[in-house]
Amino acid sequence: MLVLIRYPYVTGTSVVGIKYKDGILLAADTGASYGSTLRYKSVERIKAIGKHSLLGASGEISDFQEILRYLDELIIYDDMWDDGNSLGPKEVHNYLTRVMYNRRNKFNPLWNSLVLGGVKNGEKYLGTVNMIGVHYEDNHVATGFGNHLARPILRDEWKEDMSFEDAVKLLEKCMLVLLYRDRSAINKMQIAKITEEGTTVYPPYSLKTFWGFSAFANPTKGAEGSW
Amino acid sequence: MFRNQYDTDVTTWSPAGRLFQVEYAMEAVKQGSAAIGLRSKTHVVLASVNKSNSDLSSHQRKIFKIDDHIGVAIAGLTADGRVLSRYLRSECINHSFTYESPLPVGRLVVQLADKAQVCTQRSWKRPYGVGLLVAGLDESGAHLYYNCPSGNYFEYQAFAIGSRSQAAKTYLERKFESFTAASREDLIKDALFAIKETLQGEKLTSSICTVAVLGVGEPFCILDQKTVHEYIEALELKEEEAGDQGATMQEDPSSEAAPMDI
């Protein structure tokens, strides 16, 4: 039996997603690292899927591109029925879960952590699935470092039916923390929103950073044994 | 239809552009015992006549649950119907597993029709000898389809297939405009009345018919005999009150079992 697990080469870092009043907001930076080198700085890691969904990916970028091809085919065949039915975010998420889990069982995973968000018939949906097939839905999800740095913020500060402006501010707060603390993060990010009306992937922009914190001056002060 | 030199296999056209084997398959549907379906905006009701060969044997099953949101009633070669029901169940459950979402009826019906079409274009196959009334619920509401051995499918507000189905169709044609807004109870009573029409004077009892309902918030289920009996009683009460306006007078009430439910 062939053991095919290898390691990722070109990777994207965290994706964060939250539900808000009109739909879902996703955020991710536009960087792709080659090991410890910040190799590519203009990579779109959030894409629209069909009419009702948005997909954000972290992990191996080439595997993300492969997933986009799978989904492209899925959406095309769905459209070809031409019968008024269409795949919603829940269906896409579960399809992806099956793909990821089946690959994992063959020891040949798609090395990604995915965030799938969308709105259909007024119902908001936000879920995540990763390379080992673990999947769940929630009001806010994140991948990678986002789970450790962003989600605690979201647990405290997310609330139901936030306005677009408040939701963006909250996401920016999360992305700022990730920018300070995640070595693979870059200061160029994209926000994407999806509502009943449709999807919008906003052009990349940068966050304003401040490095004059006194804690940054003496970073190891108070850490016993550190230098 | 008479025998002719173009009816030996399904891949032979007649000069008039007909495939006789396919038409003979549709005859098999006409000879099976009746099945009817009707729908409102929110519910679909299927009903069938279940005659058994003798008092010693059990009734043949003609209504099948395919999924919580889809059911079928068949007329014709019930063995073919059983096999197709298994296929439909398989398709539904595979879809549910992959997408965590019910398969839209419209798509299932097309898949079934395509499967039937294959059998009209292979020299080593024969058409399925069964007609299916597919009742289902999806995002766009309640639906009733009829799938033919020819591979055609049609959507209906109400329909009847099998022997003496014309009597039921006549009744349904008179009343179908009221079905869209009808309540669940009225829909069931209309279904039973239509079944009664196909019996041509024979007494309608809960032991010779099966009724199944499907609706918004109500997964497909076959009503038990007791419930059907109560509906029949309510129907007869309504008839007595209204004074026999709906029932047709039959010259010679036949009591033989519907032929060819093989």
Burial of A164 (0-12, 13-18, 19+ CB in 10 A): middle
Question: Taking residues A149-177, what's their average pLDDT?
Answer: 98
For A84, name the nearest residue in chain B, comparing CA atoms only.
Answer: B140
- Provide, rounded to the nearest whole percent, the portion of chain A with pLDDT above 70: 98
Lowest mean pLDDT among A210-224, B62-76, B80-94: A210-224
Residues above pLDDT 90, as percent of chain B: 80
Q: Which of A94, A121, A125 to mutate to test the interface with B (most CBs of B within 10 A)?
A: A94
Residue B184 predicted with pLDDT over 60: yes
Q: Are A15 and A45 in contact (CB under 8 A)?
A: yes
Lowest mean pLDDT among A11-20, A123-132, A182-191, B203-212: B203-212
**Residues from chain A contacting residue B110 (CB–CB below 8 Å):** 81, 83
CB B195 within 8 A of CB B34: yes
What average pLDDT is seen over chain A? 95
B7-16, B205-214, B230-239, B251-260: range with lowest mean pLDDT:
B251-260
DSSP calls for B40-55? -SSEEEEEEE---SST
Residue B148 has pLDDT above 90, yes or no: yes
Do residues B143 and B107 lie in contact, with contact meaning Cβ atoms separated by under 8 Å?
no
How far is residue B133's CA from residue B36's CA, in Å, rounded to a whole number?
Answer: 7
* CB < 8 Å to A88, chain B: 101
Nearest to A61 by CA among A111, A116, A115, A98: A111
Mutation for A interface: B99, B109, B143, most A CBs within 10 A: B99
pLDDT of residue A221: 84
Contact A98 B97 (CB under 8 A): yes
A29-38, A80-89, B46-55 — most confident range: A29-38
Categorize the per-residue pLDDT at A2 as very low, low, confident or very high, splitting at 50, 70 and 90: low
Percent of chain A whose predicted confidence (pLDDT) is above 90: 89
Q: What is the predicted pLDDT for the residue at B245? A: 54
Q: Which of chain A's residues have a Cβ under 8 Å away from the Cβ of B137?
A: none
Question: What pLDDT score does A28 carry?
Answer: 98
pLDDT of residue B257: 47
Q: How far A216 CA lies from chain B's nearest CA (Å)?
A: 48
Q: What ipTM goes with this model? A: 0.89
Reading the block at residue B243, the tokens are 């004074």
pLDDT at B250: 45
- Looking at residue B255, what is its pLDDT? 44
- Among chain B residues, the shortest Cα distance to A89 is held by B99
Who among B98, B100, B104 is closest to A85 (CB)?
A: B104
Q: Average per-residue pLDDT in chain B?
A: 91
**Chain B partners of A91 at a C-beta cutoff of 8 Å?**
99-101
Asked if A85 has any chain B CB less than 8 Å from its own CB, the reply is: yes
B53: confidence class by pLDDT, cuts 50, 70, 90: confident
- The span from the CA of B153 to the CA of B134, in Å, is 10
Least confident of A10-24, A190-204, B171-185, B232-246: B232-246
State the smallest CA–CA distance between residue B95 and chain A in angstroms. Answer: 10
Contacts with A120 from chain B: Cβ below 8 Å: none
CB burial string B66-87: b at 16+ within 10 A, e below: bbebbbbbbbbbbebbbebbee
**What letter would DSSP give residue B32?**
S
Interchain CB contact of B94 with A (< 8 Å) = no
CA A139, A144, A150, A156 torsion-angle sign? positive
The per-residue pLDDT for A213 is 86
- B153 falls in which pLDDT band (50, 70, 90)? very high
Of A83, A84, A95, the CB nearest to B99: A95
Residue B251 pLDDT more than 50?
no
**pLDDT of B140 higher than 90:** no
Confidence class of residue A227 from pLDDT cuts 50, 70 and 90?
confident
- The region of weakest confidence among B45-59, B100-114, B137-151 is B45-59
- B107 touches A at CB < 8 Å: yes
| Between A216 and B106, the higher pLDDT residue | B106
pLDDT mean over B82-108 = 97
Quote the CA–CA distance of B58 and A209 in Å, as a whole number.
80
pLDDT of residue B216 exceeding 70:
yes
